Structure 1
Amino acid sequence: MQHEPERDARPLNARQTYLRLGVIGTILLASGAAFAYVGGWLDPQRLTPDRVVDALEAKSGVHPGFRRNHAKGVCVVGHFESNGSAHALSTAAVLASGKTPVVGRLALPGGNPVVPDASVPVRSFALLFKSPNGEQWRAAMNNIPVFAVATPQAFYDQQVATSPDPTTGKPDPQRVQAFFAAHPETAAFRAWAKTAKPSASYATESYYSLNAFYFVDAQGKQQPVRWRLAPLNAAAASAAQPQHDGNFLQADLLQRLEQGPLTWRLLVTLGTADDPTNDATKEWPEDRPTVDAGTLVITSGVPQDEGPCRDVNYDPTVLPQGIAISDDPLLPARSAAYAASYERRTREGPHQGAMISPHPTLPERTQ
């Protein structure tokens, strides 16, 4: 049997030592460069989750413990009653016939927790479905049929362009105009915004997924989908708070819930191979088939300070088996930015609530 050759036990000379140190140094340098790239240190202009969150803070100010977007909201609790109609398209347990508990959050856009409810027409609805098998489906929706921009970079540029000027406390009209001129894809959103009026109730709004997803069936077939929540409580508020009261949306919601549950139909639109799945600024044709997947039932609401939604990160890429993200670039970017926002606010500790003054002022821009 042959013996392994003996290893050379002679000490390394200086040249060999330097070569080995050089190899080790190269490996360490490469590893450090990889971490630096991820962190954005090598290229300060590269868009990172922290830069996106920084832009949101610059626009709305820093409010410790609050979300950097959709800071003002209210928690809701209820369940989803699936009728099983969409289960053939997706193996997700939440779409099988039966009830699934949900923890939701209705909110306004922006990072200012004291913004008046009537200041913007956009409302959002985030949901966390908790299936018996332990899987979760987290959805983040808005009451707009299309998103303003199609890419993370455009979203960042929009935040920068619409941030208040430190000298005036308001966005620079020329900078805003220049942004929209450079982004014609915003036309559909701008057309909606021109006629949209702030609603007096969360309960009367429809909420859209905006991004496309895939339902995956038992055979692995992927069906492109978008979904929306259509209200079944569309009557006007019986006693909505006056518009000068910055908290009328929460007051209306809690009053309605005292009278009974609030309900929405979950309507799933089925796309075709010709429908864009990577562009949230484009609507799909109205003739696409829609599946009524069941009813969302909200039974109670509580202020977000101590409510069950307070510590939930409504990351829309947290999905159960049977639902998958599409190629929309906004989805991974939203996930990363949500995580950065969540890390900041949880590090700061829970917020202590925020009350609206009769004449709220805009927060100063942070540097």
Structure 2
Amino acid sequence: MKIHPLFTKRALPLLALTGIIPLAITLLFLWAGGWLTPARLTSDKLVTVLEKSSGVHPTYRRNHAKGICILGRFISNGNASGLSRAALFAKGETAVTGRFAIAGGNPHAPDYAVPVRSMALLFQQANGEQWRTGMNAMPFFPVSSVDAFYQLQTATLPESQTGKASPQKLTAFIASHPEVKPFFAWAKQYKPSSSWASDRFNSLNAFRLVDQAGQSHLVRWSMVPTIAEEPVSEASQHDADFLQKDILQRLDRGPLSWDLVITLAQAGDKSNDAAAAWPADRQTINAGRLVINRATPQQQGPCNDINFDPLILPDGIAASDDPLLNARSSAYAKSYNLRTREQAGAKL
């Protein structure tokens, strides 16, 4: 069959394009997954190194695996509405579903053995938009980059012969990443509190609040407890689940609360380095109060199927250029997909 010259000149490029588009999409998919660049750090590698550290525990999160669901509301006082057009900062109340947890991928770890704790929250705005945030009870992150975090996890993996991390590997890591020294200095003197209720939880990463005029303001935020901190008791140091028991007992007596305190950056404060603390004299704004009135077990609880992705943000809150944010989002998604598939398989 003879092909018409017009068909040859015009149609063939289109036919070629229809082949190029799927190929390009496939290549992008493979690159994003790290298949074409094996040395590139991916969410698979991040999750795998976490599993090597704590073991594989199907149906649970790969980090902060042990926790408890919490329910409550955020009562905004309107003080932050000039900084952000997000609906939750206007005066009023916003429903909140959240989670307390301890760091690590072992859902059976004793509470007293894990000093780092976390609070994750989902604010459900009336307009359907959500704000999800994960905060930790430490003042800053150990390292600045995703690669350094991966190397830190690798350096602290337990050795098969001893069951403990290699001092030589850790020393070598510190020598090549001196920015971790302030974190280790903090950890050395840190004394965990007796309760999640008295912990201060910090965003660590910087974000931007966007006002009605479209101007952005670089910030970090903290949930500051309204009760005084108490040291861990001797009895608690022998109770593997003392944090969960404590929070349930406290809520039986009444609601628990934290103030949402926003810290505004000044010139020179880094937006892309969660390991760098901002000076203590920065301006702060109390944006309102988080009130928690109920807690439930996490398995089959209201927080269990929530991916607390830090990049799920409402209009009025935007991500900064901190590289850890994209890495957290990607790793959280990988962990979420793994555990939801495992949960679905367990029901069959």
TM-score (norm 1): 0.87
Look up the match of 2:264: 270
**Distance in 2 of aligned mates of 1:46 and 1:216:** 33
User: What are the residue-to-residue correspondences of 1:256-335 with 2, within 5 Å?
Assistant: 256-335=250-329
Q: Deviations over 1:168-191 (max 9, x none)?
A: 222111111211221111122111
Contact 1:71 1:111 in 2 (8 A): yes
Contact 1:120 1:198 in 2 (8 A): no
User: What are the residue-to-residue correspondences of 1:235-254 with 2, within 5 Å?
Assistant: 236=230, 242-254=236-248
Please state if 1:33 is matched with 2:30.
no
Please state if 1:8 is matched with 2:8.
no
Contact 1:241 1:252 in 2 (8 A): no
Q: 1:164 aligns with which of 147, 158, 176?
A: 158
Which ranges of structure 2 fall in alignment gaps of 5 or more residues? none
Deviation of 1:22 (Å)? 9.1
Contact 1:66 1:351 in 2 (8 A): no
Q: What is the root-mean-square deviation of aligned Cα atoms in Å?
A: 2.6
Contact 1:237 1:252 in 2 (8 A): no
Q: Deviations over 1:258-279 (max 9, x none)?
A: 1111111110001123210100
Look up the match of 1:360: none
Report percent identity of matched pairs: 53
Distance 1:30 1:306, change over 3 A: closer
Q: 1:339 aligns with which of 323, 333, 336?
A: 333
Contact 1:71 1:108 in 2 (8 A): yes
Deviation of 1:199 (Å)? 2.1
- Matched AA of 2:313: L
**Distance in 2 of aligned mates of 1:187 and 1:290:** 27
User: What are the residue-to-residue correspondences of 1:124-273 with 2, within 5 Å?
Assistant: 124-234=118-228, 236=230, 242-273=236-267
Q: 1:92 aligns with which of 86, 90, 95?
A: 86
Deviation of 1:30 (Å)? 4.8
TM-score (norm 2): 0.92
Q: Structure 1 or 2: larger helix share? A: 2
Which ranges of structure 1 fall in alignment gaps of 5 or more residues? 1-5, 12-16, 353-367
**Distance in 2 of aligned mates of 1:350 and 1:24:** 37
**Distance in 2 of aligned mates of 1:43 and 1:238:** 47
Contact 1:72 1:114 in 2 (8 A): yes
**Distance in 1 of aligned mates of 2:344 and 2:193:** 29
Contact 1:215 1:322 in 2 (8 A): yes
Look up the match of 1:365: none
Q: Tell me the SS of whatever aligns to 1:147.
A: coil
Contact 1:119 1:198 in 2 (8 A): no
Higher Rg: 1
**Distance in 2 of aligned mates of 1:27 and 1:221:** 38
- Matched AA of 2:38: P
- Matched AA of 1:39: G
Paired residues, number = 342
